[in-house]
Amino acid sequence: MEVSLIGNSQMKIGKADENLRDLRFFNLRNNYNNKVLISKTRVCFGQLVNSENRNHGFRFTLRAVKADAISVEEKDNSSSLRSLKSVDGMRLFVGLPLDTVSKSNIVNHARAITAGLQALKLMGVDGVELPVWWGIVEKDAMRKYDWSGCLAIAEMVQQMGLKLHVSLCFHASQELKIPLPDWVSRIGEAEPNIYFTDRAGRQYKECLSLAIDDLPIFDSRSPIQMYQDFCESFNSTFAPFMGSTITGVTIGLGPDGELRYPSCDHAKKHNNHSGVGEFQCYDNYMLEHLKQHAEEMGNPMWGLGGPHDVPTYDELPSASSFFKDDGGSWETPYGDFFLSWYSNQLISHGNRILLLASAVFSKSPVIVSGKLPLVHSWYNTRSHPSELTAGFYNTVNRDGYEALVQMFAKNSCRIILPGMDLSDAHQPNGSSPQSLQLQIEGSCRKHGVAITGENLSFPRVTDGFEKIKGSLLEDNKVMDSFTYQRMGADFFSPKHFPLFTAFVRAVNQLDLDVDDMPETRRVCEPVHMSLEAVQMQVA
In a domain, 21, yes or no: no
Amino acid at 428: P
In a domain, 51, yes or no: no
In a domain, 259, yes or no: yes
CB under 8 Å to 142, separation ≥6 — which residues?
181, 183, 218, 219, 221, 226, 229
Annotated catalytic residue: which of 2, 129, 258, 278?
Answer: 258
State CA 198 to chain mean position distance.
26
Distances (CA, A) of 465 to 64, 95, 245, 441, 452: 30, 16, 28, 19, 16
∠ CA 172-175-177, rounded to 5°: 60
In a domain, 490, yes or no: yes
Give the closest residue to 415 by CA, choosing from 373, 368, 451: 451
Helix axes 284-296, 333-360, angle to 10 degrees: 120
State CA 67 to chain mean position distance.
38
Side-chain half-sphere CA neighbours of 482 within 13 A = 26
Give the closest residue to 522 by CA, choosing from 20, 18, 12: 20
In a domain, 15, yes or no: no
Range of the domain at 176: 91-511
Give pTM, 2 decimals: 0.82
CA distance 382 to 397: 8
Q: CB–CB of 230/134 below 8 Å?
A: yes
∠ CA 165-167-171, rounded to 5°: 170
pLDDT at site 487:
92
pLDDT at site 472:
85
Q: CB–CB of 215/285 below 8 Å?
A: yes
pLDDT at site 418:
96
pLDDT in tens, the chain (539 residues): 444 443 333 333 334 333 333 444 333 333 333 332 223 334 444 443 344 444 444 444 443 333 233 232 333 332 222 222 233 468 999 999 999 999 999 999 999 999 999 999 999 999 999 999 999 999 999 999 999 999 999 999 999 999 999 999 999 998 889 999 999 999 999 999 999 999 999 999 999 999 999 999 999 999 999 999 999 999 999 999 999 999 999 999 999 999 999 999 765 554 446 789 999 999 999 999 999 999 999 999 999 999 999 999 999 999 999 999 999 999 999 999 999 999 999 999 999 999 999 999 999 999 999 999 999 999 999 999 999 999 999 999 999 999 999 999 999 999 999 999 999 987 887 899 999 999 999 999 999 999 999 998 655 666 889 899 888 877 667 898 999 999 988 898 898 999 999 999 988 864 333 333 334 333 333 333 333 333 343 33
pLDDT at site 457:
66
Helix axes 402-410, 333-360, angle to 10 degrees: 20
In a domain, 59, yes or no: no
Q: Give the CATH number, domain containing residue 358.
A: 3.20.20.80
CA distance 200 to 193: 13
Query: Does the active-site annotation cover 454?
Result: yes
In a domain, 302, yes or no: yes
CA distance 205 to 194: 9
DSSP-derived secondary structure letter, 300:
G
CA distance 505 to 84: 10
Q: Show the beta-strand stretches assigned E in 413-522.
A: 414-417, 451-454, 479-484
Query: Does the active-site annotation cover 74?
Result: no
Q: CB–CB of 70/19 below 8 Å?
A: no
Annotated catalytic residue: which of 138, 387, 441, 454?
Answer: 454
CA distance 225 to 219: 11
Q: How many domains does the chain have?
A: 1
pLDDT at site 267:
52
Give the closest residue to 259 by CA, choosing from 357, 180, 339, 343: 343
CA distance 531 to 445: 46
Phi, psi for 108 (deg, rounded to 5): -75, 140
In a domain, 30, yes or no: no
pLDDT at site 91:
93
Give the closest residue to 487 by CA, choosing from 478, 496, 479, 495: 496
